[in-house]
Structure 1
Amino acid sequence: MTSEPPDYTAGTIAFEEKYPQISGISISIMETKSGLRKEYCKAGYSDIKKVPAIHPCSNPRCKEGGLDLGRAIADMVAKDQSNHKINLRSCIGYTTVPRGNSPGTRCTNDFAAVIKLTYRDSV
């Protein structure tokens, strides 16, 4: 009988419980809002207890969007990486038609991020 690996992107378990080997985290995010003029929005996390699985998109018309931090952190821990740079990643959400609930198009916001992890010493 094979067991399924845990889904670290579900957001149901806190990162400090999933990854007890992480002693510190630093995440810096730059969001680019597309439109007639480019706007930038900065965000960051330095407490692992406050890191969401998905950093939310700032587009008010975006549904289920953002940057998937859970997958990036899971990949880093699996590869024992301390630094990871996300150059440009599109929002995973979609925008709705203004007068309705039918899906419109993919959200046009983009994200870039730098994630730094420090690990506990192995005994």
Structure 2
Amino acid sequence: MNIPQELKYTKDHEWVKIEGDIATIGVTDFAQSELGDIVYVEVETVGETLEAEEVFGTVEAVKTVSDLFMPVAGEVTELNEKLADEPELVNSDPYGDGWMVKVKISGELPSLLSADEYAELVGA
């Protein structure tokens, strides 16, 4: 299982890459493997400001639909447009081309899990 050291993680299986005041967010390798083949990603919160732990979208797999939770508070500024035509990128490249949204961070960063803490959470 791939758990990049440079990223932060949530107990809800989202990853966060923080660059200045911009956070790139997606779901972890563990999450995509548990969900199975992803067929649709829905994010209708672009332009909205959300609090940490609020739902920013959903991901639909062959067998289930799962909510996506904001790991940080901020304004959703960008959606990964590639996912409209290629939602399977979340399966094949969850930490690269499968990213979901970019957020302009507002307020304090919540405590997020390190790669080692996340690996312990998922039993990796």
Q: TM-score, normalization: structure 2?
A: 0.31
More strand by percentage? 1
- Select the structure of larger CA radius of gyration: 1
